[in-house]
Structure 1
Amino acid sequence: MNESKCQDLGLLFLRVSGALFLLWVHGLPKLLSYNEQLKLIEDPFHLGASATLMLAIFAEVLCPLLIIAGVLVRLACLPILCVLLIALLVVHPEWTLFEAQFGWLLLIIFTTVLISGPGRLVLPQRFS
């Protein structure tokens, strides 16, 4: 296998595994337990629990699905990075590196995808 194909497989693995992890651990629980999450979600910018939760669901459900499909990948990384930075720097600034390691690793993954792009293993252009 040539180097270009290996890079494309690596980018596919990175974007799909990172997106699935975010979707499974954070996105789906918010979507499937919406009413319970309304009572739990922090609202650092005073937008209201419902608006804040909908923005989080957008970033943690819709954006990962776009990234998995390879559609608007760089654009889809931006809301995810915003949510992660807000969580780490605004909502939980007291967290140690140990407590925040999952967030920082996701930040590294999605920043890498933002910089590198999706690679060539994406849906055909007519769907992108």
Structure 2
Amino acid sequence: MSYSTVDDRAQDLGLLFLRASGALFLLFVHGLPKLLNFKAQLSLIEDPFHLGAPLTLSMAIFAEVLCPLLILTGVLARIACLPILFLLLVALVVVHSDWSVDQGQFGWLLIIIFTSVLIAGPGRLALNIRLPGALRYA
């Protein structure tokens, strides 16, 4: 086995670990609690763009449940990072603009993780490898 083969495998394992750990954290810490407690979350969700709590919460659930599942599987991973990054930036810059870096460190770390996946893609250990043409790189 050549050095480049070992290096390629390590890189693919690293990308798998990065996207899986970030996706699972977001899904379990933020997404599933919102989905499973939808009614209670309606009174808690911030609505910075005045779209209404149901629509705002639904968009948050899309970004925190569906998108992490796509990233976890490696299907349309780069595209799935965009709603997550938008949500995180709105939360940190608009909704919680008074937070210090220390208070928002979980959000900033998720931005680092999902920006890395956006740039690098999901790697070869992903289900997107079976998609045709340009979808393979989305």
TM-score, normalised to structure 1's length?
Answer: 0.97
1:26 counterpart = 2:30: yes
Q: How do residues 81-92 of structure 1 correspond to structure 2 at under 5 angstroms? A: 81-92=85-96
2:43 alignment partner, SS class: helix
Identity %: 68
Q: In structure 1, give the amino acid aligned to 2:109.
A: L
1:99 counterpart = 2:103: yes
Question: Structure 1: which 4+ aligned runs deviate by more than 6 Å?
Answer: none
Q: In structure 2, give the amino acid aligned to 1:90.
A: V
- Mapped to 1, the partners of 2:25 and 2:131 lie a distance apart of 27
Q: How do residues 56-75 of structure 1 correspond to structure 2 at under 5 angstroms? A: 56-75=60-79
1:125 counterpart = 2:122: no
- Cα distance, 1:125 vs. partner? 1.1
1:35 to 34, 39, 56: 39
1:113 counterpart = 2:121: no
Q: In structure 2, give the amino acid aligned to 1:88.
A: L
Cα RMSD for the two superposed structures:
1.2
Please list every run of 5 or more consecutive structure 1 residues that lacks an aligned counterpart in the other structure.
Answer: none
Please list every run of 5 or more consecutive structure 2 residues that lacks an aligned counterpart in the other structure.
Answer: none
Q: In structure 1, give the amino acid aligned to 2:130.
A: Q
- Mapped to 2, the partners of 1:115 and 1:102 lie a distance apart of 20
Q: In structure 2, give the amino acid aligned to 1:125.
A: R
2:122 alignment partner, SS class: coil
Q: What is the aligned length?
A: 128
Per-residue deviation, residues 78-101 of structure 1 (Å, max 9, x unmatched): 000000000000000000111000
Per-residue deviation, residues 28-68 of structure 1 (Å, max 9, x unmatched): 00000000000000000000000000000000000000000
2:110 alignment partner, SS class: helix
TM-score, normalised to structure 2's length?
Answer: 0.90
- Cα distance, 1:126 vs. partner? 4.3
Q: Which protein has the larger Cα radius of gyration, Structure 1 or Structure 2?
A: 2
